[in-house]
Structure 1
């Protein structure tokens, strides 16, 4: 993967509390760990992102975005080619006070407001830019939250394993096989999963697979293909695990707008 710096450009101001810096990026590019004085809504109208921040990781499809508070270090990985459109929000206008990160649904109105800022670019009249910013902040504060968070460890050995599995969620290797590759004992890794993440290896891998699965379903991928890509023996096996975790099968879950 190729690592890039964050996009340059001026931050938001009190007069213009919301700004953005859109750029087209290919798949397998990482915007390296960084932070800002302002808050940021990390969003792409197409393509899929993985955002790591505040000790966790989120898979973010086009229908979602993630709020990152000022001064919170974060890293963005492009899982698909996308136009990355991070909204910069003045620190005094944070829509979710006291929250470092929040995943929200990007509804039709919010999506169109962001598109209007992108289309206008630097030539957008100051008054119109300010009005669009106010509407975006009002809509953002009311957006439904859609969290599927995967916790990340601090231990470097375990973090390396976790990142590798997140790159290939369908990998079916056992913890013992991962341990041999990591140069650690299976017992050590099992203990680290429990102490650092509060769950077993199997539970954590299930979280990763469900996070990826929910995002793939949201993008319209057939269930059988999602199950196959994530290493499940059948569509019914994936559906059973989805139901066990979320209390409903994928069809009902998505029809109810719960993603």
Structure 2
């Protein structure tokens, strides 16, 4: 698939900069798969949302996956790159740093409620500032504060040995090799790698592997694979085993999650 790099100023529509008077502004654009918004940052926070399509966002040395009807909150000053995995209706809410609805200094993938979906659609119809924009903006802030966070991201390490191990698993997500076997492949002891997982990624090896498989689910679904095929690609013995793990994490089946 060809990749088109789109700079933040190249073919973008006029940027709606948030201000104290208008702290919530919306930019709407449609992107094709392969059109990448190059790495950039800005002084305001950003909610990146897609009602249709799937996104991959690279930020904070992690990869974040954003399915339809979800959004990613990107705090001010965080460098981020946006990669559509499919044709995508991109809707970006810029929020002034002084009015940030979320206190977390890190990116978060959020559920988008039906109300928030309609609020964003209503913002898109506005032509000029006024009381309606103010009211919609306030309710958007309230909905973001109440939104459910989702663990759809994959932290990546800096240490070369640990990075090599993680890349082995990313290349073969169905692998069920033990940490000891993988340690031999990357030239480090399992004890050292266990320590590095906790130090660099704040999680154990087993948790990271499950997180990796969950993260890989989104692009596999985007490529058109069935749930059964995705389960096989990720090393699960059956579709039901994969679905049980997915439901335990997200509270609903993969079919329900991706068909909203």
> What does residue 34 of structure 1 align with?
40
Task: Provide Cα deviations, 1:92-127, integer angstroms capped at 9, x if missing partner.
Answer: 10001243222221011100110112233xx23433
Give 3-state SS (helix, strand or coil) of 1:104's partner. strand
User: TM-score, length-normalised on structure 1?
Assistant: 0.75
> What does residue 123 of structure 2 align with?
117
> What does residue 43 of structure 1 align with?
49
1:3–1:192 distance in 2 versus 1, CA, 3 Å: farther
Q: Which runs of 5+ in 2 are unaligned?
A: none
> What does residue 59 of structure 2 align with?
53
Pairs aligned (count): 244
Give 3-state SS (helix, strand or coil) of 1:86's partner. strand
> What does residue 91 of structure 1 align with?
97
> What does residue 138 of structure 2 align with?
134
Match of 1:2 among 1, 4, 18: 4
Instruction: Give me the whole-angstrom Cα distance separating, in 1, the residues matched to 2:168 and 2:186.
Output: 17
Task: Provide Cα deviations, 1:55-87, integer angstroms capped at 9, x if missing partner.
Answer: 322211112111111111112111111011111
Alpha carbons 2:174, 2:232 under 8 Å: kept: no
> What does residue 28 of structure 2 align with?
22
Instruction: Give me the whole-angstrom Cα distance separating, in 2, the residues matched to 1:144 and 1:114.
Output: 17
CA-based RMSD of the aligned residues comes to 3.8
Offset of residue 48 of structure 1: 0.7
Question: Where do 1:145-164 residues align within 5 Å?
Answer: 145-155=149-159
Q: Which moved more, 1:68-77 or 1:97-106?
A: 97-106
Question: Where do 1:1-259 residues align within 5 Å?
Answer: 1-6=3-8, 7=12, 8-120=14-126, 123-155=127-159, 170=173, 172=175, 186-188=186-188, 195=196, 196-197=200-201, 203-213=207-217, 223-239=227-243, 241-242=245-246, 246=249, 251=253
Offset of residue 254 of structure 1: 6.2
